[in-house]
Amino acid sequence: MAEQQTLQEFPCDYLFKAFGSNDPAECFAERVVAAVNDVVTVPRDAFKQRTSCKGGYLCVSVVAYLHNDQQRQRVYASLRQIEGLRYLL
């Protein structure tokens, strides 16, 4: 398998955004925190959340300090496993 090229220079701060349900019973924000922390430890204040204008969806943003592209790929893979994930940037 060929190595992927990236324009990102590492190490760096990298912004991830995950969108999912705003239903408190689904604990979407907590799942995002756990998924990112499975790969790289990030302080709680690195996570921000914002609800959509109609209140049905939640956007969770996190800035993580990554040392290489493999960490970036692993975080995305971990986030893709979250039940209820609607969109990922």
Within a domain: residue 77? yes
Within a domain: residue 3? no
Termini Cα distance of the chain? 24
- Residue 6 makes CB contacts below 8 A (sequence gap 6+) with 69, 72
Within a domain: residue 17? yes
CATH number, residue 58: 3.30.70.260
Which residue has better confidence, 6 or 77? 77
Question: Would you say residue 57 has pLDDT above 80?
Answer: yes
Which of 56, 55, 74 lies closest to 16, judged by CA?
A: 74
- Residue 72 makes CB contacts below 8 A (sequence gap 6+) with 6, 8, 14, 66
What is the tally of structural domains in the chain? 1
Within a domain: residue 18? yes
Within a domain: residue 63? yes
**The pLDDT of residue 5:** 61
Under the banding of pLDDT at 50, 70 and 90, the label for residue 27 is: very high
Quote the domain boundaries for residue 45: 12-88
pTM of whole model > 0.85? yes
Under the banding of pLDDT at 50, 70 and 90, the label for residue 8 is: confident
Within a domain: residue 40? yes
